[in-house]
């Protein structure tokens, strides 16, 4: 169900004239809440109704074609998939559409900045340093998550969120070495392939830009995660004291429970909360958390 804000004026007889959101100028606070609304045609204020199902009676329908003309079909589709799961109501918000437009523009800009750099070799897993391995692991973790979100969970909004997180991480990965550029190229190819079911027009053009002038993105098989790339050399565990987060530790992936316990007790940020006290119990959840009970 698609819902949207409503705007109206009251007549002398108690009836209401409803105005389409496209005809209203709205001001909002820093949290996005409406602080005022005026009719664009006369500049006079209107009353703000509730958020209701789009309908002719409330005149709060939005013409998808107007949004497509303004932002493009891919952007509108991306917003529709991101704003809410299919089994929940979708609150139409043009600011959200603008956010999706900014994401696609950033993907376009960052990818073209990458392809403007010198050519690079293929990814050589054996030649990667720690930072490159971490970036590549995130790429393959995203393949696993997005594939599961699309296929099993049918949770498209979380799949899109994962791709946004991957692009954010890629923006911070400024390794200009041969293998650094190779990892970045693999990441961009992965984003395009995973986003293609939702934004096919943009992804078609970006796939060509990545050097695949003779193949179509639609003809490529679905990406498969490399099991070796998913292996972690180290783990970051949260450390709690009496159930409250007090710090984090990084330990080798092969560390035992005893190693995790010793590292947690030795962490300075944690030790400050247990000074002079003997822990009653230390609970280690492998790969996730250490909880110290005092």
Helix (H) or strand (E) holding 276: none
DSSP annotation of 88 reads S
Looking at 36-40, 132-136, 236-240, which range is the least confident one?
Answer: 236-240
Find how far residue 175's CA is from the centre of its chain: 23
pLDDT for res 278? 86
pLDDT, tens digit, 9 for 90 and up, residues 154-193: 999 999 999 999 999 999 999 999 999 999 999 999 999 9
How much of the chain exceeds pLDDT 70, in percent? Answer: 100
For 253-290, write each residue's pLDDT tens digit: 888 888 988 899 988 988 888 888 889 999 999 888 99
How far apart (Å, rounded) are the C-alpha atoms in residues 206 and 107? 9
Asked if residues 50 and 6 have their Cβ atoms less than 8 Å apart, the reply is yes
**pLDDT tens figures, 136-153:** 999 999 999 999 999 999
pLDDT range class, residue 87, cuts 50, 70, 90: confident
What's the rounded Cα separation, in Å, for the pair 134 and 169? 10
Contacts of 77 (CB under 8 A, 6+ apart): 198, 199
The CA-CA-CA angle for residues 270, 276, 280, to 5°, reads 75
What sign does the dihedral 70-73-75-78 (CA atoms) show? positive
pLDDT at 139: 98
Q: pLDDT tens-digit profile of 50-80?
A: 899 999 999 999 888 888 999 999 999 999 9
Averaged pLDDT, 40-44: 95
The pLDDT of residue 137? 96
Reference 264, options 235, 232, 240; nearest CA is: 240
Average pLDDT of span 100-117: 97
pLDDT, mean over the chain: 93
pLDDT computed for residue 93 by the predictor = 82
Q: What is the pTM of this model?
A: 0.79
Domains in the chain: ranges and CATH: 1-62 (2.20.28.290), 94-230 (1.10.730.10), 234-293 (3.10.20.590)
- pLDDT for 30 equals 87
């Amino acid at each position: 169900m698609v819902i949207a804000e409503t705007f109206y004026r009251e007549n002398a007889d108690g009836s209401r004239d409803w105005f389409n959101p496209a005809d209203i100028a709205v001001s909002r606070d820093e949290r996005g809440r409406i602080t005022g609304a005026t009719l664009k045609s006369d500049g006079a204020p209107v009353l703000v109704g509730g958020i209701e199902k789009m309908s002719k009676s409330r005149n709060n329908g939005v013409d998808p074609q107007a949004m497509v003309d303004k932002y493009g079909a891919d952007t509108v589709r991306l917003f529709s998939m991101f704003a809410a799961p299919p089994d929940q109501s979708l609150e139409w918000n043009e600011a959200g559409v603008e956010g999706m437009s900014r994401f696609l523009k950033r993907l376009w800009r960052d990818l073209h900045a990458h392809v403007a750099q010198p050519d690079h070799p293929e990814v050589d897993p054996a030649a990667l340093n720690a930072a490159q391995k971490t970036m590549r692991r995130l790429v393959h973790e995203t393949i696993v998550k997005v594939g599961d979100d699309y296929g099993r969970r049918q949770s498209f909004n979380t799949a899109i969120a994962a791709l946004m997180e991957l692009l954010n991480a890629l923006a911070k990965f400024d390794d200009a070495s041969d293998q650094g550029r190779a990892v970045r190229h693999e990441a961009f190819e992965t984003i395009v392939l995973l986003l293609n079911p939702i934004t096919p027009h943009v992804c078609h053009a970006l796939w060509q830009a990545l050097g695949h002038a003779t193949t179509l993105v639609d003809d490529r098989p679905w990406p498969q995660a490399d099991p070796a790339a998913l292996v972690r050399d180290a783990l970051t565990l949260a450390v709690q004291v009496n159930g409250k987060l007090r710090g984090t530790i990084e330990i080798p992936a092969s560390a035992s429970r005893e190693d995790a316990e010793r590292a947690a007790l030795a962490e300075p940020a944690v030790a400050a909360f247990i000074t002079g006290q003997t822990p009653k119990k230390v609970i280690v959840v492998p790969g996730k958390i250490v909880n110290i009970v005092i």
